[in-house]
Amino acid sequence: MRSDTVTKGMQQAPHRSLFNALGYTEEERQRPLVGIVCSYNEIVPGHMNLDKICDAVKMGVAMAGGTPIMFPAIAVCDGIAMGHVGMKYSLVTRDLIADSTEAMAMAHQFDALVMIPNCDKNVPGLLMAAARINVPTVFVSGGPMLAGKVKGCKRSLSSMFEAVGSYAAGTMTAEDVTEFEEKVCPTCGSCSGMYTANSMNCLTEVLGMGLGGNGTIPAVYSERIRLAKHAGMKVMELLEKNIRPRDIMTEKAILNALTVDMALGCSTNSMLHLPAIAHEIGMDFDITFANEISAKTPNLCHLAPAGPTYMEDLNEAGGVYAVMNELNKKGLLYTDCMTVTGKTVGENIANCVNRDPEVIRPIENPYSETGGLAVLTGNLAPDGSVVKRSAVVEEMMVHEGPARVFDCEEDAIDAIKGGKIVAGDVVVIRYEGPKGGPGMREMLNPTSAIAGMGLGASVALITDGRFSGASRGASIGHVSPEAAVGGPIALVEEGDIIKINIPETKIELKVSDEVLAERKAKWVPRQPKVTTGYLARYASMVTSGNRGAILEIPR
């Protein structure tokens, strides 16, 4: 066993003395050492229950003959970090989580791992780490929050942000906002729509790294405790069979994840995280091939913010496996991929019934014949940009209007809430990309303000930053190359006409090549916004959004 490096032989006597200091017995040292990577903390609602999940996992590992040993991973609540300097520190934690988990696992020579994530960057960060470390690993998340209820209707965090915009527009009172505030987030768990956290937890199932139900069983259900115990037991089975993450997270598994992403209508952030996970297994992930998959993959789900259903509804309808079984009716998945169940994808999803065709549309009756995400290219985004097509109203699928240009998120929000943005406008927020931000902030505040002001069906927003999974509307992010490296978005001027055609996957700045060349010749790089600390190091190494904002050593 790998842990023999720290537990067996005369040279390891000092190591054993330190295990003695920890209170471990010889019997525990003789068993496989299983690292339990627990992301519990007291500031993220999706993580406040992970201590209970951890206890259950440890019991499962012990029941199956292993020695569970917990160590922590960090996590940021994107909702609390939203709209201020804290959002610069959200995406960047993905790499901190991957790096620190790799360091802990390699330093202490664990034989196997159970990862316990839940919220946005925590899940992909641990998936990246799992691919690097490559010891038998199972994921079990903390689970989604139940939807809130306001005036008899189910609501979630996106409703809360939009309520603030409605208040600014004068269509909602302060008392109304307070009622939303008190009711939209009623339990612990990852926020209840198909936002980034739930998207990535569902895709963890599809990748084969989580057991069935990992993405959908609500955080407050006792069923999740049982799932955690099974995860602990299952990792011991994987260790016995020597099934490792890179046996599971193959190129075919990544393509399965992208396919199910299209059917579920996942967050655009999955188009940052899937390329980063693919990078860890040596796969070159070109985001533009998402359009090829989207073209043949029907969109089967309209979960919030795209529609009125929530994660609890998806769970009752049969969960991710039921969605996968619908897709498999048209042969859209690679069913021979191995998973942490010890079975193949095909074996896992066989006979999984769609119990609610209003939540999971049958493949014969999809919301659309094409998938939930689209990658747009053109002279404004030569390397691509991403939009959640399933959350765009029909009127905005094709749009042309004047650019309203802002060099930071705060200025755009002031203009929107100040009534300076009108129907037909195309709001451009730049210098918010991975390098320019730095950290590629989410733009939930401006998209929510646009929706709350009643402009969701008439105003588009384009950015080299990114969007929350809670964003909806014609919100086009990840514009690459970003402004900070001289991408065309840096050359847009106030009043330039921008044409968006989502069905044709095009985004065009209606300015001649000659004029753009003149502007490019005059363009001067901006001084970095941050020059010290982790953000400065991150900015020096990070790529644009089309490559997943991965870190590379500068050459």
In this predicted model, what pLDDT tens digit does every residue of 366-385 receive, in sequence order? 999 999 999 999 999 999 99
> Which position has the higher pLDDT, 531 or 168?
531
Q: pLDDT band at residue 555, thresholds of 50, 70 and 90? A: low
In this predicted model, what pLDDT tens digit does every residue of 93-141 receive, in sequence order? 999 999 999 999 999 999 999 999 999 999 999 999 999 999 999 999 9
Q: pLDDT band at residue 67, thresholds of 50, 70 and 90? A: very high
CB 261 within 8 A of CB 147: no
**What average pLDDT does the chain have?**
96
In this predicted model, what pLDDT tens digit does every residue of 310-329 receive, in sequence order? 999 999 999 999 999 999 99
Q: Given the residues 468, 471, 475, 544, select the one marked as catalytic.
A: 468
Q: Is the pLDDT of residue 468 over 80?
A: yes
Average pLDDT over residues 345-351: 97
CB 499 within 8 A of CB 302: no
Q: Is the pLDDT of residue 554 over 80?
A: no
Q: How far is CA 417 from the centre of its chain?
A: 28
Average pLDDT over residues 449-470: 91
Ramachandran region of residue 514, left (φ > 0), alpha (ψ -120 to 50) or beta? alpha
Average pLDDT over residues 242-256: 98
Q: How far apart are the first and last CA of the chain?
A: 38
* Tokens describing residue 374: 């689209």
CB 125 within 8 A of CB 95: yes
User: Mean pLDDT lowest for which of 339-343, 453-457, 538-542?
Assistant: 453-457
User: Mean pLDDT lowest for which of 133-147, 150-164, 203-217, 503-517?
Assistant: 150-164
C-alpha 512/C-alpha 212 separation (Å) is: 52
Quick check: is 468 catalytic? yes
Q: Is the pLDDT of residue 448 over 90?
A: no
Q: Is the pLDDT of residue 243 over 80?
A: yes
DSSP 475-518: EEEEEES-GGGT-GGGG--TT-EEEEETTTTEEEE-S-HHHHHH
C-alpha 80/C-alpha 86 separation (Å) is: 8
Q: Is the pLDDT of residue 335 over 70?
A: yes
Residue 368 DSSP code: B
High-pLDDT (> 70) share of the chain, %: 100
3-class SS of residue 27: helix
Q: Which residues of 417-434 are buried (b: 16+ CB within 10 A; e: fewer)?
A: beeebeeebbbbbbbbbb
C-alpha 173/C-alpha 186 separation (Å) is: 21
Average pLDDT over residues 391-416: 95
Amino acid at 448: S
In this predicted model, what pLDDT tens digit does every residue of 1-51 receive, in sequence order? 999 999 999 999 999 999 999 999 999 999 999 999 999 999 999 999 999
* Tokens describing residue 260: 């199910």
CB 138 within 8 A of CB 207: no
